[in-house]
Each structure stands twice: as structure tokens, then as C-alpha cells.
């Protein structure tokens, strides 16, 4: 069975892997001080590696967890968001929260009732680095 190679001598999968190796990190510092990236770059790297993304609308790092529940059928799942928010007042502490994303307000809006499940203000982020 012949293996088809491109003009550059690479198979399609070798070219794909080579492109992935050269891929730049798309998570560059945005200049937004709400990210905490300029103060805690190692912690931000850990957040990104754990699947968090920065939500501009909410001003925090978040990732979504899903689970099936008896009263909801697939593909509808119950969602919970795990978030870290940098404290802009003291520029050194973080707040960890577990929230219901379906109860969150949109850009500039308030949150609905029961949006907050858990909150830990001033959480020790060094345990995650």
C-alpha cells in the first residue's frame, strides 16, 4: 500500500503534527488587569492547563462541569461553573467560587437568585501551583 507524501516530503499526519508543534500559545496576556496574569503568571498557567478560560463578561477565570440528573435527558445536562476571581482592590488575593451559570447575569447585569453555591474569599492559590 503506497503512502502518499506531499511535495515537502511529509505525509498529511506528519504535516499536522509539525503544524501543532509550531502552534503559538493563543492565550497571550491581554493587558486586562482583571486576569491577574501580570501578578501571578504561574497560577494563570496552571488555570489554563486545567481548562479554565477568562470570561470578559464576568471578569473571572472559569470552567464548566456537567452532570446528568434524573429530571433532565441527554443532551441536556446540569451545569456548574468553578471560578477564580482576582481581587483588584489588594492586587494579591483571589476568590474561589462554585456558581450556577444559568443564574448569572450578562454583561453588567446582576446575578439571579441562588447563583452562588460556594465561596472562599482569600483562597490560598499556592496549593495549586
- Cα dihedral 112, 113, 116, 117, rounded to 10, equals -140
Q: Could you tell me if residue 34 is left (phi over 0), alpha (psi between -120 and 50 degrees) or otherwise beta?
A: alpha
67 vs 76: CA distance, rounded Å: 9
Read off the pLDDT of residues 71-88 as tens digits, 9 standing for 90 and up. Answer: 887 777 889 999 999 999
- What is the DSSP secondary-structure string of 8-19? TS--HHHHHHHH
Given pLDDT bands bounded at 50, 70 and 90, which one contains residue 117? Answer: very high
Residue 105 grid coordinates: 447575569
The yes-or-no verdict on residue 49 having pLDDT over 50 is yes
Extents of the domains making up the chain:
37-128
pLDDT at site 80: 94
Amino acid at each position: 500500500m503506497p503512502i502518499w507524501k506531499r511535495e515537502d516530503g511529509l505525509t498529511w499526519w506528519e504535516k499536522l503534527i509539525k503544524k501543532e508543534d509550531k502552534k503559538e500559545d493563543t492565550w497571550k496576556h491581554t493587558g486586562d488587569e482583571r486576569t491577574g496574569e501580570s501578578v501571578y503568571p504561574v497560577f494563570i498557567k496552571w488555570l489554563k492547563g486545567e481548562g479554565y478560560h477568562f470570561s470578559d463578561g464576568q471578569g473571572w477565570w472559569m470552567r464548566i462541569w456537567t452532570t446528568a440528573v434524573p429530571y433532565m435527558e441527554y443532551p441536556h445536562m446540569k451545569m456548574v461553573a468553578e471560578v477564580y476571581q482576582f481581587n483588584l482592590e489588594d492586587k494579591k488575593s483571589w476568590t474561589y467560587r462554585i456558581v450556577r451559570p444559568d443564574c448569572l447575569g450578562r454583561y453588567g447585569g446582576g446575578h439571579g437568585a441562588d447563583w452562588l453555591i460556594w465561596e472562599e474569599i482569600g483562597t490560598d492559590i499556592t496549593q495549586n501551583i
